[in-house]
């Protein structure tokens, strides 16, 4: 199992960061490649620009802690058992977003590629919160 931990500092209070990250249907505003997000029950479905879909089970959704866990049920990359957590923590007048991910890569190139995608996602989230810009702007 591969474990990745990424974090990013965002110059905004945790409540402001959570307002974007915690809105599970707003993924298309900040996650690169996402054109639509829909939540039904505990599942989030994201449609991607390449026509693929990502399905996730959202578990332990905790607005009071500014955190949630997810289990990816369908992803367009060669992994199995993909899951992770998002958490927004206060930090020196702003916030730190921590994204941890666990998965079993089915291709040796996946961990580096996935790590790059997670870093890009966090940078896009920072840009959305601080500058109000969507991922495709």
Could you give the CA distance from residue 71 to residue 94 in angstroms, rounded to a whole number? 28
Q: Burial, 100: exposed, middle or buried (Cβ in 10 Å; 0-12, 13-18, 19+)? A: middle
Is residue 29 in a domain? no
Could you tell me the residue range of the domain that residue 82 belongs to? 2-23+60-131
What pLDDT score does 21 carry? 97
Is residue 99 in a domain? yes
| pLDDT score of 133 more than 90 | yes
Is residue 83 in a domain? yes
- Counts for the chain of helices (H) and strands (E), in that order: 3, 7
- What residues contact residue 97 under an 8 Å CB cut-off, 6+ apart? 7, 8, 10, 17, 21, 86, 87, 88, 89, 122, 125, 126
**pLDDT tens-digit series, residues 45-55:** 999 999 999 99
Give the domain CATH number at 83: 3.30.530.20
What pLDDT score does 43 carry? 96
**C-beta separation of 80 from 53 below 8 A:** no
Among candidate residues 61, 66, 22, 26, the one with its CA nearest the CA of residue 41: 61
Is residue 17 in a domain? yes
**pLDDT tens-digit series, residues 79-108:** 999 999 999 999 999 999 999 999 999 999
Q: pTM for the whole thing?
A: 0.93
Is residue 92 in a domain? yes
- What residues contact residue 52 under an 8 Å CB cut-off, 6+ apart? 76
131: left (phi over 0), alpha (psi -120 to 50) or beta: alpha
Per the structure, how many domains does the chain have? 1
Helix segments in the chain, DSSP class H: 14-21, 27-30, 110-131
Among candidate residues 6, 9, 4, the one with its CA nearest the CA of residue 90: 9
**What is the average pLDDT score of the chain?**
95
Is residue 82 in a domain? yes
Is residue 53 in a domain? no
Is residue 45 in a domain? no
What pLDDT score does 137 carry? 85
């Amino acid at each position: 199992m591969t474990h990745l931990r990424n974090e990013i500092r965002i110059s905004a209070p945790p409540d402001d960061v959570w307002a974007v990250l915690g809105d599970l249907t707003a993924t298309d505003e900040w996650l690169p490649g996402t054109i639509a997000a829909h939540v039904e029950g505990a599942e989030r479905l994201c449609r991607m620009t390449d026509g693929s879909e990502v399905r996730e089970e959202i578990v332990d959704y905790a607005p009071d802690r500014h955190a949630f866990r997810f289990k990816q049920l369908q992803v367009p990359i060669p992994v199995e058992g993909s899951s992770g957590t998002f958490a927004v923590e206060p930090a020196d007048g702003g916030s730190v977003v921590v994204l941890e991910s666990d998965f079993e890569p089915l291709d040796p190139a996946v961990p580096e590629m996935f790590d790059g995608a997670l870093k890009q996602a966090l940078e896009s989230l920072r840009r959305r919160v601080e500058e109000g810009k969507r991922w495709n702007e």
